Amino acid sequence: MNRAQKEIVVNKIKEKFSASKSVFFIDFKGLSVKKMSGMRRKFKENSSELKIVRNRLTKIALKNYYDDIIDTNVLRETTGLIFSYEDEVSPAKLLIDFKKDNKNLKIKGALIEGKFFNSEEVDAISNLPPRNLLKAQLFSYIIYPLNTFLQNLSSPLSIFGNQIKALLNKTKTEE
């Protein structure tokens, strides 16, 4: 690979880092080509992308953006990059599921929304529910007390209204 080709690769990696919501760093040493292909397919189905790039080129791409955040041990030995473009958490779940069946796969860390997480923290992140579900839960926690308050507020009014209606019906029947 000549210098011009390396510059193209570095620029593509920079674009992928800026376009992605999260990036996961894995060590894939010992995995067969068949397993890697299957893993690529699963990530592609979930709006993610698995790329294998030389560590030196990745370091150059990260130099001005994340070099003070990322642990230097992450870019040693064989490193795969998983770029997630939609959901920050779903690749972590896929990695943990894939790791259960493939003991050779190691998660080195992740870069999520500008913050670096080590492998233990990625394991914890994988247990989080998807963002949409968290938003729905938060919304329900906010709406429930308001809904209860409004029901309690309107309850005396509806009781009063029902009593007036009953009185009107009673006076109509007496006439």
The 3-state DSSP class for residue 6 equals helix
**For residue 50, which phi and psi values (nearest 5 degrees)?**
-100, 125
Helix axes 90-101, 33-45, angle to 10 degrees: 150
pLDDT tens for 71-106 read 667 888 888 999 998 888 888 888 888 888 888 889
**Kind plus residue range of the DSSP H or E element containing 53:** none
**Residue-level pLDDT at 41:** 92
Q: Which of 37-51, 105-119, 123-137, 147-161 has the lowest mean pLDDT?
A: 147-161
Segments of the chain assigned E as strands? 22-27, 48-52, 80-84, 106-112, 115-118
pTM of the predicted model as reported, rounded to 2 decimal places: 0.72
